[in-house]
């Protein structure tokens, strides 16, 4: 019973792990692809995120108490499920190694430029190991408790920045810009798809899915869109789209120019801290998912003995995947965004379609 999670914890986790990509990657990606109209892209992503949420809720309610592996086994059989799990493992390993890399690069770029990235990675792995020993519930509860104060802080920053927003950086926007905003929305969609984590932990959500839980899930996805919109407006309105497109961490530079009634300044350290916390929780979560995938693939019951060898593989793979900011940006823009589309949207949507086709058979079973 101690292992059970609530929908609220899953939604808070989703928002928490979305914090760092929303603050770090989305503003520059939107500015680069859609220019000053990029802040409209989050709304286009609703067209894809809404069906994804519906599919996830459909799968959870059609297969109560089952996780993604058990759902795939029920729909496609064991062999197909194992193949899908192997593909998901490859995606999670890529995502995890890239995340460890960008975490160390963020710390180097913002606070400690003279420290080697190896040191940051080693410290992170030690912290993740310690967190994993406490169990997944602790990590979910940490995100649940921390998200509120973090959003409050960002709200205060936004209030401080309102007077600095320049409308000429945001307007005019015309219909000519719409195609580019639609194309740029892939960057928001790639982060919004993190909602799929609910399927990995669906077996811990309890047997029945109540309307209240569904409402929480829907509101989480809507909150994500609004949050993306606010952060993009904030960054574009102060730094301008052209500068935002060129910076590796535009929100950090934007916050540098903010002061609280000319009394408190240098809030950028807080932004770095938020990103580091979000990265830490994301890395912990991805480690848990990766270990779950290994357990499902090999039919293991215990997983504690995998921590050290898996940490070693991930640590060294992070060097082989990307080492510099430029390499990470290339990998993120041309590989991770499209890989996310496949694993966060196409596979769950296919599962949802199969679930709809075989609905009568499934209902008889449960």
| Span of 108-116, 217-225, 227-235, 302-310 interacting with other proteins by CB under 8 A | 302-310
| Span of 46-54, 80-88, 102-110, 318-326 interacting with other proteins by CB under 8 A | 318-326
Q: Does 229 bind other proteins (CB under 8 A)?
A: no
Q: How far is the CB of 117 from other proteins (least distance, A)?
A: 12
Q: Does 89 bind other proteins (CB under 8 A)?
A: no
CB 253 within 8 A of CB 28: no
CB 277 within 8 A of CB 154: no
Q: Does 334 bind other proteins (CB under 8 A)?
A: yes
Quote the distance between the C-alpha of residue 89 and its chain's center: 17
Q: How far is the CB of 325 from other proteins (least distance, A)?
A: 11
Give the phi and the psi of residue 254 in degrees, each rounded to 5. -60, -45
Q: How far is the CB of 79 from other proteins (least distance, A)?
A: 17
Q: Does 309 bind other proteins (CB under 8 A)?
A: yes
Determine which residue in the list 145, 264, 330, 338 makes contact with other proteins, applying CB under 8 A.
330
Determine which residue in the list 313, 337, 349, 350 makes contact with other proteins, applying CB under 8 A.
313
Tokens 């293991």, located at residue: 300
For residues 197 and 248, give the distance between their C-alpha atoms in angstroms, rounded to a whole number: 27
Q: Please, which contacts does 327-333 make with residues 24 or more away whose CB atoms are closer than 8 Å?
A: 328/98, 328/101, 328/102, 328/105, 329/248, 331/98, 332/25, 332/98, 332/102, 333/29
Tokens of 107: 């710390």
Q: How far is the CB of 286 from other proteins (least distance, A)?
A: 16
Determine which residue in the list 168, 261, 320, 365 makes contact with other proteins, applying CB under 8 A.
320
| Span of 37-45, 223-231, 317-325, 348-356 interacting with other proteins by CB under 8 A | 317-325
Give the phi and the psi of residue 260 in degrees, each rounded to 5. -95, 100
Q: Does 260 bind other proteins (CB under 8 A)?
A: no
Q: Does 300 bind other proteins (CB under 8 A)?
A: yes
For residues 205 and 9, give the distance between their C-alpha atoms in angstroms, rounded to a whole number: 10
Q: Which residue number, 153 or 313, has a Cβ lying nearer to other proteins?
A: 313
Binding mask 95-124 for other proteins (x = CB under 8 A): -----------------------x---x--
Within 8 A by CB and 6+ apart from 49, the residues are 189, 192, 193, 195, 221, 224, 225
Within 8 A by CB and 6+ apart from 138, the residues are 131
Determine which residue in the list 304, 361, 363, 364 makes contact with other proteins, applying CB under 8 A.
304
Determine which residue in the list 163, 172, 174, 305 makes contact with other proteins, applying CB under 8 A.
305
Determine which residue in the list 298, 338, 356, 359 makes contact with other proteins, applying CB under 8 A.
298
CB 121 within 8 A of CB 318: yes
For residues 265 and 268, give the distance between their C-alpha atoms in angstroms, rounded to a whole number: 9
Q: Which residue number, 111 or 308, has a Cβ lying nearer to other proteins?
A: 308
Quote the radius of gyration of the chain (alpha carbons, Å).
Answer: 20
Q: Which residue number, 145 or 334, has a Cβ lying nearer to other proteins?
A: 334
Please give the residue ranges that form the binding site for other proteins (CB under 8 A): 118, 122, 294, 298-300, 302, 304-313, 315-317, 319-323, 327-328, 330-331, 334-335
């Amino acid at each position: 019973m101690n292992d059970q999670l609530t929908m609220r914890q899953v939604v808070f986790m989703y928002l928490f792990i979305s914090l760092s990509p929303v603050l770090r990657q989305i503003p520059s990606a939107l500015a680069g692809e859609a220019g000053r109209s990029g802040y409209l892209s989050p709304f286009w992503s609703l067209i894809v995120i809404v069906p994804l949420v519906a599919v996830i809720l459909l799968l959870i309610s059609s297969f109560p108490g089952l996780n993604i592996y058990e759902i795939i086994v029920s729909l496609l059989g064991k062999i197909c499920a194992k193949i899908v799990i192997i593909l998901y493992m490859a995606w999670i390993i890529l995502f995890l190694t890239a995340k460890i890399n960008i975490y160390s690069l963020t710390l180097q770029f913002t606070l400690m430029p003279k420290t080697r990235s190896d040191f940051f990675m080693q410290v992170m792995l030690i912290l993740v190991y310690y967190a994993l020993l406490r169990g997944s519930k602790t990590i979910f509860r940490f995100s649940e408790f921390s998200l509120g104060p973090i959003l409050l802080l960002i709200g205060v920053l936004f209030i401080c920045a309102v007077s600095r927003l320049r409308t000429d950086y945001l307007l005019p926007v015309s219909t000519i810009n719409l195609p580019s905003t639609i194309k740029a929305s892939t960057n928001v969609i790639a982060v919004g798809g993190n909602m799929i984590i609910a399927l990995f932990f669906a077996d811990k959500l309890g047997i029945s899915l109540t309307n209240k839980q569904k409402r929480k899930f829907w509101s989480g996805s809507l909150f994500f869109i609004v949050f993306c919109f606010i952060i993009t407006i904030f960054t574009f309105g102060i730094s301008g789209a052209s500068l935002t497109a060129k910076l590796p961490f535009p929100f950090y530079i934007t916050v540098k120019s903010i002061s609280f009634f000319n009394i408190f300044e240098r809030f950028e350290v807080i932004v770095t801290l938020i990103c580091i916390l979000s990265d830490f929780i994301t890395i912990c979560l991805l480690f848990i998912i990766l270990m779950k995938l290994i357990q499902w693939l090999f039919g293991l019951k215990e997983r504690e003995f995998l921590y050290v060898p898996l940490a070693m593989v991930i640590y060294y793979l992070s060097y082989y995947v990307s080492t510099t900011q430029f390499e990470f940006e290339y990998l993120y823009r041309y590989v991770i965004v499209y890989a996310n589309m496949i694993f966060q949207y196409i596979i769950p949507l296919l599962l949802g379609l199969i679930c709809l086709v075989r609905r009568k058979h499934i209902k008889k079973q449960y």
